[in-house]
Structure 1
Amino acid sequence: MTPSWLLPAFVLVLGYLLGSIPFGLILTRATGAGDLRQIGSGNIGATNVLRTGRKGLAAATLLLDLFKGAAAVLIGGSLVDGGGAMAGAMAFIGHCYPVWLRFAGGKGVATMMGVVTALFWPAGCIFAAVWLAALFGTKWSSVGGMAAAVSAPIAMTAFGRGDLVPVALALALIVLWRHRANIARLARGEEPKIGKARSGAIQSGPAANDPAGE
């Protein structure tokens, strides 16, 4: 007889493994753009891929990171009642803390958007709208990502999806934590805006002065 905990455990592990796929690192290596961990901030997300000067790679990374979050929700939800939120949260954790990269991953904004959209698409639309509005309104990538993350639990609450508020709130808090260095630079007035990184598109080493959100 199969233990009752086995399938939920499988969903959690599957979600984590999906989320931990470092698409940014894979794409940059495969196309000869270098080791993403030695460029710009050293993060594996789309914003750092953009620092290679490859806009197409950055767009592909963004879409794939979004897709893996959504895929985890859809697969988890099809296997276990309530498994969508579980698998989606674990995919987000996997992106931020991938075991393959010694738990040094991205900041999770794109993956969170995929999770939120798959869980409740109206909140996903608000997430995207807030992300773009804050990004282009302030020219700070970090502000766009943080504002979008915070909008998710607010949108869930406004639409009466109280069942999804805890997971959305938890992911938003992790996004803010992952941006703590950006928050400190914003407070000091030292956060560079889009297109104004201190040393151009490509910087060597995981910079302590990560100028953006991913």
Structure 2
Amino acid sequence: MTALTILMFSLAYLLGSISSAILVSRLFNLGDPRQQGSGNPGATNIFRLGGKIPAFLVLTFDLLKGTIPVWFSYYLGLQPVHLAFVAVFACLGHMYPLFFGFNGGKAVATALGATLPLGLDLAALLIVTWFLVSYYSGYSSLASLVTFALAPLFTWIIKPDYALPVAILSTLIIVRHRKNIIRLIFNQETKIRDKN
């Protein structure tokens, strides 16, 4: 592993550590999203707290947090497995942000953004899966769980070189949803358009 690879891992984590949900919430005077609504600093909770514009800003930035470091790593010539782990580190930054007390979100948008440079076909398949499940169920968390449960399989079929790190990333995201899983089982989960 080269110094450049380690540098990109570090930069991906630092970029991931910038919590757009908290910054946008401050900009729109919404309070700390970690203490309101679902308690998750992500686009879905910001949508409930502040509406479409703040949620769109958070979603866009969170997608870019995954896309930018992976794109740069690709153009710098990192090996496929290292390229995929750049995505993992970006998501770890979102989940455990250095700048916000290591209390972050679930990294769904960041993970989806990170798949864009790995292949538009793979990214499209994941995004379509998320939208279909969320549309028919009404649950953002269920859509994320189904999408990332299937992500390693999709990746193995389309981009097998990236299957292992995507499986690691999927495991992290599913573990971060453990409370949502319990609420889904007991029919206590909040739907996307619910205002809590």
TM-score (norm 1): 0.85
**Does the Cα contact within 8 Å between 1:15 and 1:76 map onto a contact in 2?**
no
Which residue among 33, 36, 59 is the counterpart of 1:36? 33
Mapping of residues 172-211 of structure 1, within 5 Å: 172-198=170-196
| Bigger fraction of residues in helix | 2
Q: Which amino acid aligns with 1:48?
A: N
Aligned residues: 194
2:108 alignment partner AA? V
Question: Which aligned pairs between 1:78-117 and structure 2 lie closer than 5 A?
Answer: 78-82=75-79, 83-117=82-116
The SS at the match of 1:123 is: helix
- Tell me what 1:153 maps to: 152
Correspondent of 1:59 among 41, 56, 59? 56
Q: Secondary structure at the match of 1:43?
A: coil
Percent sequence identity over matched residues?
Answer: 33
Aligned mates of 1:64, 1:117 — CA distance in 2: 14
SS at 2:59 equivalent? helix
Unaligned runs of 5+ in 2: none
Stretches of structure 1 that go unaligned for 5 or more consecutive residues are: 199-214
Q: Radius of gyration: which is bigger? A: 1
1:197 deviation in Å?
4.6
1:77-110 Cα offsets, whole Å, 9 max, x none, are 2234224223211101101111122211110110
Pairwise CA RMSD: 1.6
Distance 1:76 1:122 in 2: 19
Please give the alpha-carbon distance, in whole angstroms, between the structure 1 residues aligned to 2:74 and 2:172: 23
TM-score normalised to structure 2 length = 0.92
2:166 and 2:50 mapped to 1: Cα distance?
Answer: 33
Give the Cα–Cα distance (whole angstroms) in 1 for the partners of residues 145 and 113 of structure 2: 15
